[in-house]
Amino acid sequence: MPASRLEGTVGLLAANARWDYAGLPYWEGEVDCCINSWTLANGVWLGASVERIARWFVDHRLGDGGWNCEWVEGSVRSSFHSTLNSLKGLRAYEVAVGGDDDVRRAREGGEEYLLERGLMRRLSSREVVGEFVTQFRSPFRWGYSVLNALDYFRGVGRKDPRMAEAVEVVRAARQDDVTWLQGGRHPGDVWFEIDVPKGEPSKWLTFYALRVLGWWGS
């Protein structure tokens, strides 16, 4: 739906919506990276003034280069999930408003956090960070997977040799009929389902996987 069809939504949210956390104003964001990411992306789509949320990501980037939604609980180590979601919001902001050196540096630093880890491994031991990286779920929502990460980098247009192993993980998941299977659904209530149950061929995952492989091989 074009944002023009939602004229007045920005003001209505500003006047009537506050976050559960400390009653913070809607367009100033929350303390959760993933929530702020989607608020930032939705805000630029609707034409809201969301510069403060973009600046929040610059100020709350952790020392290892990424982000973690549990920073407010004291976490000082970045999360694959939080970092990818943060990158998506920052990229949407950059595309919408143009250049911002601080935001660009934060985004590129977050990308480097993932690339240093091959999109799937711990930096220290080189072990796979968790089963979730190879569980492809549609819709992506907040969840990390190498397919989700690769599709982000495709959109940014940044190829890097350190992605090669992750690309092969996607390729290896292809079925004989050239489809990719639904890995499951993320927890949480939804109004209606938009993809198939676990274990069945997913048109959305097949689309994303073919798009990533085509981009990588081009």
**178: three-class secondary structure by DSSP:** coil
Task: Collect contacts of 182-185 with beta carbons under 8 A, ≥24 apart.
Answer: 182/136, 182/137, 182/138, 183/135, 183/136, 183/137, 183/145, 184/135, 184/137, 185/137
Same structural domain, 110 and 132: no
Same structural domain, 98 and 174: no
pLDDT confidence tier of residue 190, bands split at 50, 70 and 90: confident
pLDDT tens per residue across span 43-93: 999 999 999 999 999 999 999 999 999 999 999 999 999 999 999 999 999
Where among 62, 83, 116 does a domain terminate? 116
Same structural domain, 75 and 144: no
| Assigned domain for 6 exists | no
20-29 mean pLDDT: 93
Query: Per the structure, how many domains does the chain have?
Result: 2
| Assigned domain for 3 exists | no
Give 115 or 22, the one with higher predicted confidence.
115
Look up residue 163 and give its DSSP letter. Answer: G
Residue 3 confidence (pLDDT) above 80: no
Q: Which residue segment(s) compose the domain that 112 sits in?
A: 15-116
Strand partners, 202: 180
Same structural domain, 19 and 74: yes
Query: Which residue, 189, 150, 191, is CA-closest to 168?
Result: 150
Same structural domain, 169 and 188: yes
Q: How far apart are CA 175 and CA 99, in angstroms?
A: 41
* Dihedral sign of CA atoms 99, 105, 111, 116 in order: positive
| Assigned domain for 92 exists | yes
Which residue type occupies 166? A
pLDDT at 98: 85
CB 119 within 8 A of CB 149: yes
Where among 54, 81, 116 does a domain terminate? 116
pLDDT at 188: 86
Q: Determine what percent of the chain is predicted with pLDDT higher than 70.
A: 98
Question: Could you give phi then psi for residue 148, rounded to 5 degrees?
Answer: -60, -45
Where among 95, 116, 137 does a domain terminate? 116
